[in-house]
Amino acid sequence: MSPPFDVLSRIRIVAAILLVYCACSAAFARDDAKAEAADEARPPAQFLEPTTATDASTAIPFSFIYDQKPSRDLMKNWKYQRTKRNLDEGRVQYESTWNDPRTGLVIRMKGILYEKYPVVEWTVTFKNEGKTDTPILESIQALDTRLTSPGATTASNPILHSFKGSPAELDDYHPRPSPIPPGETIHIGTTGGRPCNTNLPYFNLEGAGGGVIIAVGWPGQWTSSWECDISKTVHVLAGQEITHLKLLPGEEVRTPLVALLFWKGDRIRSHNTWRRWMLEYNLPRPRGELPPPQLVACSSHQFGEMIGANEDNQKLFIDRYLEEKLKIDYWWMDAGWYKNDGTWVNTGTWEVDPKRFPHGLRAITDHGREKGVRSIVWFEPERVTKKSELFETRPEWLLSPSGLPAGLAYQNDWRLFNLGNPDALKWLIDRVDGLIHSQGIDLYRQDFNMDPSFFWSTGEPDDRRGIAENHYVRGYLAYWDELLRRNPGLRIDSCASGGRRNDLETLRRAVPLLRSDYLFEPTGQQCHTYGISFWYPYHGTGTLIGASQIFGSKIESDVVYAFRSHMAPSVTACWDLRRKDLNYDLLRKLTAQLHETQPYYLGDYYPLTPYSTQNDVWMAWRFDRPDLGGGVVQAFRRPASLEETRRFKLGGLDPTARYVVKDVDLDEVKEASGRELIEQGLAVTLKNQPQAAVVIYKRK
C-alpha cells in the first residue's frame, strides 16, 4: 500500500541516522522550517549523512541526563559509528552507536524505516561496558523532540487525540481530543505499572492539515508530556516514568519502543494507514498467518471459571456446541484448572489438578482437536498467592509490595514473580513450555490482575530507581519470545484484567481476546468497539446473550441488539449449552451473520456518528475491505433514541462501480452506485428501541 502522501523521500534522508526526525514530517516540521514550504522541508545539511558525533547528537530524538549533564552536550564528544542493512523488501534497519571512553557507557539506537508506510521506529539501549559502576543515568526520554504545525494560526491550536485505557468501565477506549493552547502542558501516562490501566500509549497529534501518530511501546509504567509554546511548537517527551540509576559492569537497560507515523490531510485516513501497518508488520503471524476471525466458547459462567470444571463437563460442552451446529474454533479453559484452594485466585502452583482432570487437560484438548476445535488455556504466572508452590519454595524469586493505596491493600498478600531474575525466568519458561506441550495447548492466555509498580519499587536504593521495572519488562518480552520460538504455531492472548497491557511491544506478540472486563452491557460494548478500532485491528469480546435464563422475558430483538453490540474479530460465547430450551435457531442465525461480517473487521475503519455513551442517540461505524471490494455498516438505535432513520455517507468507494447492498435482516437485496452511496448515503431505518442493523455491501 502506498503512503497517503509523498513523505518517504524525506523520511529516507533522516533515517540514515536511525530515525525520521520530526523535522521532515509532512504535517509537522522542525520549528525552523517554513510553514508554507512544509511539503518541501528538508533537514539541515548535517542530517543527510552524519559523519561525526557532533552532527548525530544534534539530530537524536531521545535524551537523558548522565552524571548531571544533558545528553546532547555529552554525546558530541563521544565515539560515533553507524550501520545500515536491509531487513527485507519493505524495511531498512539503521544502527547508531555512541561510546563514552571515560565511563564505558555504550548507547545503541536501532531503528527501522518502513519503505511502504510513512513510519519509523526506534529503541535505545544503554550498556555499561566498563569495569566500574557508571555515574547516575537519569530522566531517560525515549522520545524528546519539538514539532511545529505548518500553517498554524492563532486560531488553530494543535490538537492531541488521546484515548482512555481499559479500567473496566463503560467508556473504556473513549476518544479524547484536547487542543493544546500556547503556554499549556498536557501530561498523560498510566498508573500501577500496566500500560493501558488508565490511558492508551497511542496518540495522534493533529496540526493544520496533518499530523503525527506516536506510539510508546512499553509494557510498564510510562509517561508523556505535550507542551505548546507561542509559536505552536509542541515539545513532546515520553518514556519510562522513573529512571535514576547507575549501571553495574556489564548491565544493560533499554527505552520504550517509539513509533511515528506521519500523515497529511484526513485524520481518519491516518488511522487507517496505521491499521494497515499494524496488520502487515505488527500483528503476530504464527506460521506466517494473521490471527483469523473466530468464535470461541467457554463454560466459565457455569463452573466458576474452572473451579467446578472437570474432564467430563468440558467434553460435554464441546460436544453440545457441535451438536447444535454452532461451529466453534477454540474451547477456552479459564482460571482454576490447576491445584488450588477452591478459588481461582490461588495462583503460583502450575500443575494440573489430578482430582478433576485425572488424564490432564490433554484429554480435553485432544477431544476437541479431533473434532476441529483447538484449545485456549488460562495462565497468570506473574501473580503469586499464599500457599502456592512458588510462594512457599521460591521467595527469592518474588517481589513484595510497598506503598499500596488503601484500595489495593488486598495485594499485600500477593507477590510478583520477578521476570527480571534470570533464574526465575528460565524456570518459568521451562515450566509453561512443558505444559503447552504436555497438555496440547494451542493458544496461551496470560492474565495479569495486579499493579506491579508497587512491587518494582520496593527496596530500590536511590541510585537504582527504575532498574527493577526495566529488567522486568525485558524479561516479560523475552519470556513470550522464547515461548514463541519453541512453539512456532503458538498464539498468545494478552488479557491483563481485560485489555490493560496492550502497548505496541505486547501487540507484536499477542492479541487481546477480551478487550475489557466491563462486560455484556450493550452501550458499553458499542463504545469500546468505536474507540478501540482506531488502534487495534484485532480484538475480542465475550457474550452471554441469547440464553433465556439470562434475559428472562426479553424479546428476540433485544437479544439480537445485544449480540450485535458484541460483534468483533473474536467473540467468546458463554452460553449454557446443557440447556435444551435455548433458542438455538436464533443462535445459529446470529453466529452465521457474525462469520459473514468478521472478515471486514480487518479492513479500514470509519466512524459514522460521534462518540457517545448516552442512550438517546445512534452510534454507527463502517469497516471496509478494498481488497474484497466490500464492507459492513453497523448501526445502533439506542433505547431512548427518537430517530427511526439515519443516512450515512460512505466515502472512499468507486463512484463508477455498482454495489450490492444487503441488510442481513431483510430478504431483499438492493443495488446502488458508488456515487449514490458516497453523495446520498446509505439509509438505515430501525423502528424498535433499541435495535441494531448490519448492512453488507459488495462491489459487483
In tens, the pLDDT along 244-289 reads: 999 999 999 999 999 999 898 899 999 999 999 999 999 999 999 9
Asked whether the beta carbons of 239 and 257 are under 8 A apart, the reply is: no
Mean of the pLDDT values across residues 494-501?
A: 96
The pLDDT confidence band at residue 102, using thresholds 50, 70 and 90, is very high
Mean of the pLDDT values across residues 597-624?
A: 98
Asked whether the beta carbons of 193 and 452 are under 8 A apart, the reply is: yes
* Alpha-helix residue ranges (DSSP H) falling in 282-406: 311-323, 362-369, 389-393
In tens, the pLDDT along 640-688 reads: 999 999 999 999 999 999 999 999 999 889 999 999 999 999 999 999 9
Q: Give every CB contact of residue 493 below 8 A, 6+ residues apart in sequence.
A: 376, 443, 444, 445, 446, 510, 511, 512, 513, 514, 540
The owner of cell 503556554 is 183
Does pLDDT of 519 surpass 60?
A: yes
Phi, psi torsion values for 699, nearest 5 degrees? -75, 135
DSSP per residue, 84-153: EEEEETTEEEEEEEEE-TTT-EEEEEEEEEETTTTEEEEEEEEEE-SSS----EEEEESEEEEEE-TT--
Phi, psi torsion values for 45, nearest 5 degrees? -55, -35
Distance CA 443, CA 361 (A): 13
In tens, the pLDDT along 37-52 reads: 223 222 223 322 344 5
**Tell me, what's the pLDDT at 78?**
94
Q: Give every CB contact of residue 586 below 8 A, 6+ residues apart in sequence.
A: 546, 556, 559, 560
DSSP class of residue 370 equals T
Q: Where is average pLDDT lowest: 71-75, 377-381, 478-482, 599-603?
A: 71-75
**And the C-alpha cell for 490?**
503458538
Cα 75 → chain centroid: 34
* Alpha-helix residue ranges (DSSP H) falling in 598-691: 674-679
By C-alpha distance, which of 33, 28, 35, 34 is closest to 5? 28
Does pLDDT of 231 surpass 90?
A: no
**Tell me, what's the pLDDT at 320?**
97
**Tell me, what's the pLDDT at 60?**
86
DSSP per residue, 442-465: SEEEE---S-THHHHTTT--TTEE
Does pLDDT of 298 surpass 60?
A: yes
Distance CA 271, CA 533 (A): 9
* Residue type at 465 in one-letter notation: R
In tens, the pLDDT along 202-222 reads: 999 998 888 899 999 999 999
* Residue type at 665 in one-letter notation: D
Asked whether the beta carbons of 134 and 105 are under 8 A apart, the reply is: yes
Strand order in the sheet with 330-333: 491-493, 443-446, 374-379, 330-333, 294-298, 570-573, 540-543
Distance CA 601, CA 599 (A): 5
Collapse the DSSP code of 204 into the 3-class scheme (helix H, G, I; strand E, B; otherwise coil) and give the result: strand
**Tell me, what's the pLDDT at 550?**
43
Distance CA 548, CA 340 (A): 33
Count helices and strands (H / E) in the chain.
17, 37
**Tell me, what's the pLDDT at 155?**
60
Does pLDDT of 18 surpass 60?
A: no
Distance CA 517, CA 526 (A): 14
* Residue type at 278 in one-letter notation: M
In tens, the pLDDT along 367-424 reads: 999 999 999 999 999 999 998 999 999 999 999 998 888 888 988 999 999 999 999 9
**Backbone φ/ψ region at 151: left (φ over 0), alpha (ψ -120 to 50), beta:** left
Alpha-carbon separation of residue 47 from 14, 263, 465 (angstroms): 6, 21, 35
The pLDDT confidence band at residue 453, using thresholds 50, 70 and 90, is very high
Asked whether the beta carbons of 442 and 492 are under 8 A apart, the reply is: no
Give the percent of the chain with pLDDT over 90: 80
**If you average pLDDT over every residue of the chain, what do you get?**
89
In tens, the pLDDT along 427-444 reads: 999 999 999 999 999 999
**Helix H or strand E encompassing 270:** helix 267-281
In tens, the pLDDT along 233-242 reads: 899 999 999 9
Distance CA 621, CA 609 (A): 7
**Tell me, what's the pLDDT at 58?**
60
